[in-house]
């Protein structure tokens, strides 16, 4: 039996592409080829995932001219999506422009499989800026006006100038029902409440992005009301939340766990939400998060003493006061009151919070470093309830303030884990390090990329940056769902995020720049009428009801900002 010569297999795909300028190329919906939908960066590794058997792949330029021929990598199985895939590596193609990947082979069938890609000098800058701008869109007590908000304008909901002290938070000078002001800050997630333990890691990560990539962030105009002043926009935006955090400290130095309504408000605009707001219970976790964040902020804002007089001193004094309270109240674990049903952020193991706060206090004031905890706590991907890595990162950035023996310990913990992550991605079918799909799995991918970029900055080994690029590729489309998980980006991105403003504003598109939580099996009951895939990497639905997979959160956006900004700066 005769078979067609190879070039005859390729001709239909070439004609389709060249005759239509790529406009009729296979849509993202088919997803036989998974690509970074926001583009690949010149000069660095570029890979796509092939999900159908292919003998060869080709790259054609905008004119339909074949400019690269490659063989897909070996088939590998990814248990998290139960599929066999191959990697198409076209890293040698560096000319910016639009291209098409073309798959051919006996396993493809009569028609070649094609997918459009783009190579850019910097595909990350827009994501980084939008990630910060999303936090602006989530400001509490603040109107979003046309000059800065475009079509996503809204009123200033939740002025929070009349906030009641809940029974659980009552103290001598502030009894139950006492009124305080808790104005400002960011809405924590898809709901309208504000939580200190989540604000801590978020604010720290934003400050860290500026600290490590100062030159980059000094040059970014984010289009927020403060743009154009002396303070870089990323710090102006972070300050909006930091100043709210300062309002959450009681006179005795303790820190309220959260500012909230009694129950989650419905999907209405902020200016229509008028339920009473409360500060709820002081907790040691909140005080330690607050201590660490304020101590770190004091060092950052010391450089802006003329523009922001007294701010660094205020942060330092607040950190000292909350640290003292924590020492006097070392194990006040947050317990959700019976009449409060909003986010708990409960954490019964706060040794990592103790380490982070003590490390930051040591760096700020020279107090004893908590090195005894280094051998007792495992290093893993940072999350709101695992902040040990934050203390180690801060330590490694200021080695002159800590003894060489402690720096060696921190280096070992940090780089052993960074090497572990890089090793996993080298052998992973999807070229990523994630191997556990928890609630907010996309933020784990972003935080793993953050750790790799810090490793790259500290040691200069390109393996870390290359692995971090794969993390960004995953977030922007090289994942089993085929979604670019950032709202407003890519060919296929979430449209129905669990976010009250996006759900109530009558605008078809969601607020842009948010990272959706991503697939996981944490709960399968948030959308009872819809079926979810039982495989962890595929268990995602783009529906408003799916708070477990499609909510947004400030602590998920912060590592996205860090990673995309770090890549934007480092890949040039």
Distance CA 572, CA 566 (A): 10
Give the active site residue among 265, 352, 444, 542: 542
* Largest Cα–Cα separation, the chain: 92
Q: Verify whether residue 191 is a known catalytic residue.
A: yes
Q: Of 51, 46, 43, whose CA–CA distance to 70 is shortest? A: 46
Query: Is 166 designated active site?
Result: no
Nearest alpha carbon to residue 132 among 239, 237, 240:
237
Query: SS3 of 83, please?
Result: strand
125-137 and 554-570 helices cross at what angle (nearest 10)?
Answer: 150
Separation between Cα atoms, residue 288 and residue 390, nearest integer Å: 13
The backbone region for 150, taken as left when phi is positive above 0, alpha when psi lies in -120 to 50, beta otherwise, is left
Is the separation of the CB atoms in 469 and 567 below 8 Å?
yes
d(CA 101, CA 466): 21
Q: Beta strands 40-41 and 163-165: pairing type?
A: unpaired
Catalytic residue, candidates 191, 353, 371, 444: 191
Phi-psi region of 366 (alpha: psi -120 to 50; beta: other; left: phi over 0): left
Q: How far apart are CA 157 and CA 149, in angstroms?
A: 15
Q: Are 484 and 477 in contact (CB under 8 A)?
A: yes
Of 166, 296, 498, 499, which residue is the catalytic one?
498
- Residues sharing a CB contact under 8 Å with residue 121, sequence separation 6 or more, in sequence order: 41, 42, 96, 572
Tokens coding 387: 């902040």
Q: Which of 26, 233, 471, 551 is catalytic?
A: 551
Task: Find all residues with CB under 8 Å of 301, minimum gap 6, and list them.
Answer: 235, 308, 311, 312, 315
The Cα 176–Cα 231 span in angstroms is 39
Q: Who contacts 151 (Cβ-Cβ below 8 Å, separation ≥6)?
A: 507
Coil, helix or strand at residue 322: helix
Active site residues: 191, 498, 542, 551
């Amino acid at each position: 039996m005769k078979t067609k010569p190879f070039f005859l297999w390729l001709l239909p795909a070439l004609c389709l592409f060249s005759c239509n300028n790529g406009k009729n190329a296979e849509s993202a919906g088919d997803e036989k080829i998974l690509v970074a939908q926001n583009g690949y960066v010149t000069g660095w590794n570029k890979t796509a995932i092939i999900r159908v058997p292919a003998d060869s792949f080709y790259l054609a330029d905008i004119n339909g001219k074949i400019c690269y021929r490659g063989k897909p990598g070996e088939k590998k199985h990814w248990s998290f999506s139960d599929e066999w895939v191959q990697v198409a590596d076209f890293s040698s193609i560096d000319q910016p422009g639009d291209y098409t990947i073309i798959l051919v082979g006996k396993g493809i069938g009569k028609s070649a499989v094609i997918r459009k890609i783009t190579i850019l000098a910097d595909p990350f800058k827009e994501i980084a800026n939008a990630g910060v701008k999303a936090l602006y869109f989530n400001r509490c007590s603040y109107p979003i006006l046309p000059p800065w908000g475009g079509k996503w304008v809204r009123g200033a909901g939740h002025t929070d100038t009349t906030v009641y002290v809940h029974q659980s938070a009552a103290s001598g000078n502030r009894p139950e029902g006492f009124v305080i002001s808790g104005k400002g800050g960011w809405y924590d997630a898809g709901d309208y409440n504000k939580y200190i333990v989540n604000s801590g890691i978020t604010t720290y990560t934003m400050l860290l992005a500026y600290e490590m990539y100062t030159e980059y962030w000094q040059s970014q105009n984010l289009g927020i009301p403060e743009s154009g002043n002396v303070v870089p926009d990323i710090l102006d935006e972070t300050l909006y939340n930091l100043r709210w955090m300062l309002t959450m400290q009681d006179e005795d130095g303790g820190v309220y766990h959260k500012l909230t309504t009694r129950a989650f408000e419905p999907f209405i605009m902020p200016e229509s939400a008028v339920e009473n707001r409360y500060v709820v219970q002081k907790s040691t976790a909140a005080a330690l998060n607050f201590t660490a964040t304020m101590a770190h902020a004091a060092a950052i804002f010391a450089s802006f003493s003329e523009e922001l007089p007294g701010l660094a001193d205020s942060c330092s004094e607040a950190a000292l006061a909350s640290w003292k309270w924590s020492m006097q109240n070392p194990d006040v674990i947050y317990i959700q009151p019976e009449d409060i049903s909003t986010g708990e952020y409960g954490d019964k193991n706060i040794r990592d919070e103790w380490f982070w706060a003590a490390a930051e206090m040591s760096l700020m004031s020279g107090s004893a470093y908590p090195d005894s905890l280094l051998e007792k706590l495992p290093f893993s991907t940072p999350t709101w309830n695992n902040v040990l890595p934050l203390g180690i990162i801060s330590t490694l950035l200021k080695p002159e303030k800590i003894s060489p023996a402690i720096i060696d310990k921190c280096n070992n913990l940090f780089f052993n884990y960074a090497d572990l992550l890089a090793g996993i991605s080298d052998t992973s079918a999807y070229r990523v390090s994630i191997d556990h799909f928890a609630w907010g799995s996309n933020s784990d991918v972003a935080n793993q990329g953050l750790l790799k970029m810090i490793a790259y900055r500290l040691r200069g080994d390109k393996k870390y940056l290359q692995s971090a690029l794969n993390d960004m590729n995953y977030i922007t489309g090289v994942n089993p769902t085929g979604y670019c998980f950032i709202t407003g980006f890519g060919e296929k991105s979430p449209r129905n995020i669990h976010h009250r403003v996006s759900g109530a504003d009558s605008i078809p598109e969601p607020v842009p720049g948010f990272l959706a939580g991503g697939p996981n099996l944490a709960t399968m009951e948030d959308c009872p009428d819809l079926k979810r895939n039982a495989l962890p990497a595929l268990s995602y639905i783009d529906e408003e009801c799916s708070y477990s997979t499609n909510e947004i959160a400030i602590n998920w956006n912060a590592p996205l900002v860090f990673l995309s900004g770090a890549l934007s700066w480092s890949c040039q």
